[in-house]
Amino acid sequence: MMSMKCKYALKALIQLGMGYDKGYIMASTISEAENIPKKFLEQILLELKHAGFVGSKQGYGGGYYLKRKPAEISVADVYRLFDGAISLVPCVSLNFYEKCDDCKSEKVCLLKPEFLKIREGARVIMSKTTIQTFLNLAKKTN
Amino acid sequence: MMSMKCKYALKALIQLGMGYDKGYIMASTISEAENIPKKFLEQILLELKHAGFVGSKQGYGGGYYLKRKPAEISVADVYRLFDGAISLVPCVSLNFYEKCDDCKSEKVCLLKPEFLKIREGARVIMSKTTIQTFLNLAKKTN
DNA sequence: ATAAAACTCTACTAAGTTGATAGAGTTTGT
DNA sequence: ACAAACTCTATCAACTTAGTAGAGTTTTAT
């Protein structure tokens, strides 16, 4: 399960995607549209900004905008930012590798080869699903 | 990432799988073989017992044994027992369905259809990987 | 200039989860 | 009777999660 933070981030990115290249969108607008506590959302948008996914402008008339193309922000990217590794165990993680401290030797770990396959399965599909994917769905529905 | 509990459970099940149909295996044996704190492992084995994956016998000469065939215990089964839903959000979970309380309407949720696909991807591969899969690997290595 | 709007940043907190540890109890073989 | 080994429940420290709070900064309109 992903954290609320990650889910809120995806929802916010979709909202920003809907207004892509159309100026600034305020946190309060997204907050109301998606039922996300405003102050919590501000933190999230800030993290997204620091990570380079969104840009912002302060002051009256300000707000947030998508800095990358919707097709260039994947669920995997957002998941990694807020929830960390996609893999089930740290020792098969691409981006968050760590030795499992209970394992005596990685070379003879029985879990590892299969867990690599599971990670690849999850990673591929989460990487293929982007903000654009959700936007396409929104179009069809309307 | 899966919890240590879940990972320990898988390791314990593999150990029991290696001794499938060969009598009882003690918690202490598994504990030493896999570097799992003994008392913690006992809790885990008890949960596995209550869930019907393993059987046990008390007293001198007792221990645990696999109650189901190794091919009939999947990573998905064990994950669900210890860590819960495989899906990223509760509203697309097969076994742990819950309404997302931030979503205004499930019918128009943009996330849902794609999150269903992601869950299916993860679920299929985690269901196909069983204790037998790991045992086959162990054979090859030896 | 100044007030208000809107983002920025840091600190804090209550509740829940995780990864154990502890110990008393039960069953069984010798 | 005794010890080995599983059974069950309680407890706990550390960490994470999902927010809340509030002071600070930037920008625009008037």
Nearest residue: Cα versus C1' of C19: B4
Largest Cα–Cα distance of chain A, in whole Å? Answer: 60
Q: Under DSSP, is residue A74 helix (H, G, I), strand (E, B) or coil?
A: strand
Specify the DSSP class assigned to residue A35: T
Mutate to test the interface with B, among A104, A114, A116 (most CBs of B within 10 A): A114
Mean pLDDT over the full length of chain B: 95
**Quick one: CATH architecture of A4-66?**
Orthogonal Bundle (1.10)
Task: Compare CB distances from B110 to A1, A14, A117 and report the shortest one's residue.
Answer: A14
For residue A4, give every residue at least 6 positions away whose Cβ sits within 8 Å of its Cβ, in sequence order, or none.
Answer: B102
pLDDT at A101: 85
Looking at chain B, the number of H-run helices and the number of E-run strands are: 6, 2
- Interface contact flag, A111 B90, Cβ < 8 Å: no
3-state helix/strand/coil string of A77-91: HHHHHHHCCCCCCHH
pLDDT at A124: 98
pLDDT at A138 over 90: no
At residue B132 the predicted structure's pLDDT band, cuts being 50, 70 and 90, is very high
Q: Closest nucleotide (CA of B56 to C1')?
A: D6
Amino acid code (one letter) for B70: P
Tens digits of residue pLDDT in A38-96: 999 999 999 999 999 999 999 999 999 999 999 999 999 999 999 999 999 999 999 99
At residue A108 the predicted structure's pLDDT band, cuts being 50, 70 and 90, is confident
A95 neighbors A40 (Cβ within 8 angstroms): no
**Domain boundaries defined on chain A:** 4-66, 85-141
A123 neighbors A92 (Cβ within 8 angstroms): no
pLDDT at B62: 97
Which tokens belong to B6? Answer: 């879940």
pLDDT at B138: 81
A138 neighbors B110 (Cβ within 8 angstroms): yes
A15 chain-B contacts, CB cut-off 8 A = none
At how many degrees (to 10) do helices A4-18 and A38-50 cross?
Answer: 80
Tens digits of residue pLDDT in B85-102: 999 999 999 999 999 888
> d(Cα A74, Cα B114) in Å, to the nearest integer?
12
Tens digits of residue pLDDT in B43-65: 999 999 999 999 999 999 999 99
Which tokens belong to A52? Answer: 């380079």
For residue A22, give every residue at least 6 positions away whose Cβ sits within 8 Å of its Cβ, in sequence order, or none.
Answer: none
pLDDT at B141 over 80: no
pLDDT at A142 over 70: no
Specify the DSSP class assigned to residue B63: E
Among A21, A2, A4, which Cα is nearest to A135's? A21
> d(Cα B13, Cα A140) in Å, to the nearest integer?
47
H helix or E strand, kind and range, residue A17 = helix A4-18
Which tokens belong to B123? Answer: 């679920």
> d(Cα A85, Cα A87) in Å, to the nearest integer?
5
For residue B35, give every residue at least 6 positions away whose Cβ sits within 8 Å of its Cβ, in sequence order, or none.
Answer: A102, A103, A104
The DSSP code sequence of B48-63 is HHHTTSEEEE-STT-E
User: Could you tell me which chain B residue has the CA closest to the CA of A125?
Assistant: B118
Mean pLDDT over the full length of chain A: 95
Residue A114, chain B, CB below 8 Å: the answer is yes
Q: For A27 and D29, how far is CA from C1' in angstroms?
A: 21
B111 chain-A contacts, CB cut-off 8 A = 7, 10-11, 134
Amino acid code (one letter) for A34: E
pLDDT at B6 over 70: yes
* Least-confidence region, from A49-58, A129-138, B60-69, B131-140: B131-140
